Copies of this chain bind each other. A is one copy, B any other.
Amino acid sequence: MDVILYGLGPIGRQILDVAARSETLHILGAVDIDPALVGRDVATLSTHSRQAGPQVVATVDDLPTELYTRNGATALHATGSRLSDVWPQLRQLLDAGLSVVSTCEELSYPWHQHPELSKEIDRYARERGRTVLGTGVNPGFVMDVLPMCLTAVFDDVQGIHVTREVDVSSRRVPLQRKVGVGLEPTRFAQMAATGKIGHVGLEESARLVAHGLSWEIDGITNAIEPTIATARHRVELGELLPGEVDGLAQRCVATTKDGRTIELDLVMRVEVEQKDEIVVTGAERHRVVIPGGLPGDTATAAITVNCAERIGGMDKGLLTMAEAGLPRYQHRSFGRGSPLPQDQSKEEDR
């Protein structure tokens, strides 16, 4: 499969690593606006590169012309969280004939917050016979796709409660900043109020779940609170003192008219014990626990590539993960593996 990397920040580099390690993915080009990257062999940016790759270019226009003579390349897009910021990039990629799998958080369920833009992206992609899909570990999997999948064995669902606790101690500095590590609580409140800190995508996850289950959301609340350090910590961002913010607790609760609820609790702080937990309640109640939690960036990179592997079999237009089939790893390191059963290859091969 031919891929274009668009965005070589922390997530883009992880995606590059996944792609470079694979024997069946072919990196056709790489785009990043950073002048320090433009002109470099993309393989030198990967810890897993085995051979020379294409040069990083600054814009889609500078991508190798090979792109236009081969059919069906897919862009692995990882630049920003806000759809209005990334739409010009997505449009360029669609114009170049590419389908796009993006880690843009708002793209995981853009239909509520950006209904007109979503329609435009959908129309634009369909007209070009291409697919645009937002994914990631969160939003895109732990707090939406996996809970949806679990509801399959329920004959009634009254409530879904997902808790994800992420230890940011050893995570990258931008992530530590994003969750407010080291701030005074008052400063945290100011920055949270203006959207300068906080996880983007929690409400999108709730809306994606509701969409997938055909629930109509009647009310939705979002809250974000700082968590406070009680001991000294040394993190990559610097030294953290007791009383300073060591992360955040974010909560989104969506309710339907008939009293069904989607509760999403996300804690991202220093030295919390990592865990993901999903509780689905209906006539029965079942709990799924992932001790240690699913990882962040590496999981986002993996699901991005795994979705790209299957994108040729998906519908055209702007999709959510609810319309993108059963997400799963696709064997690539040693060739495509088993041929599909005869006459049954439509999903993968069409």
Contact = CB atoms under 8 A, between A and B. Distances in A.
Interface residues of A, number: 82
Contacts of A337: 210, 213-216, 256
A333 to B, nearest CB: 6
A233 interface: no
B346 A315 contact: yes
Contacts of A336: 214
A344 interface: yes
Contacts of A338: 210-211, 214-217
A331 B323 CA distance: 16
A331 B213 contact: yes
Contact of A21 (B155, B284, B299, B330): B155
- Interface class of chain A by DSSP: mixed
A315 B155 contact: no
A286 B329 CA distance: 14
B111 A329 contact: no
Interface string A277-316: 0000001101111111011001111110111000000010
A152 interface: yes
- Copies of this protein chain in the complex: 2
Interface in A1-42: 17-18, 21
Interface centre among A111, A302, A328 (most CB of B within 10 A): A328
Given A291-B289, A315-B347, A149 B145 contact: yes
26 contacts: A111-B341, A111-B344, A118-B341, A122-B343, A123-B343, A137-B153, A148-B326, A153-B294, A155-B329, A156-B333, A210-B338, A213-B331, A214-B330, A215-B338, A217-B338, A284-B298, A287-B291, A288-B288, A288-B289, A317-B343, A317-B344, A322-B328, A323-B325, A323-B344, A323-B347, A325-B325
The 9 closest A-B pairs by CB, nearest first: A216-B338, A151-B329, A152-B327, A153-B299, A155-B302, A111-B341, A214-B337, A148-B328, A18-B155
Given A154-B306, A216-B337, 12 more contacts: A141-B153, A149-B149, A151-B328, A157-B329, A210-B337, A213-B331, A214-B336, A286-B294, A315-B346, A320-B344, A323-B346, A326-B327
